[in-house]
Amino acid sequence: MNQAFTPGGPTVLIGTTPLQATSGLTGVVDPTQRTAYRVRCLINGYISWAPANRTGGGAPQGVTSTAPAAGTPSENTIGMLAGQCEIFTLPQNAWFYASAAVSFEVTPGEGI
C-alpha cells in the first residue's frame, strides 16, 4: 500500500452505540486480515474498536470506550482531539464505539 487513502465503504457516524464499519468485503470474515480506516474526530474523546465476529452475528459484547487510568489500561482505545483525522490499520469489518455521542466519523478503505 503506497497510495493516498481510497474509501472502500460508507462513512459511519460513531457514538456510544457499537456500529460496524464494513469495507464491502464478502464471504467469511477473517479477523486476522487488516483494513485501513480514516477516523475523523468531531469532539474530544476516545474511540475503541473490536474485530468482527468470525461467524457473523452482532456487536461484540462487554466492550466500552473509556479513558485509561493509572493501572487500568483501556484495550483497543485511542484518544483524539476535535478536528484530528488519522488513518489506522485495524481488523477488517471492525466494530467501533466512542466515549461520547456523535463524536467520530469512520470510513473503511485502503492506503495511507
Region 96-109: mean pLDDT is 94
Q: What is the pLDDT of residues 11-34, one digit of tens each?
A: 999 999 999 998 765 555 565 678
Characterize 55-90 residue by residue with b for buried, 16 or more Cβ atoms within 10 angstroms of its Cβ, and e for exposed: eeeeebeeeebeeeeeeeebebbeebeeeeeeeeeb
pLDDT above 70 for 1: no
pTM assigned to the model: 0.85
Q: What is the pLDDT of residues 38-92, one digit of tens each?
A: 999 999 999 999 988 766 667 777 667 888 888 888 889 999 999 999 999 998 8
pLDDT of residue 22: 86
Exposed (0-12), middle (13-18) or buried (19+): which is 27, by Cβ within 10 Å?
exposed
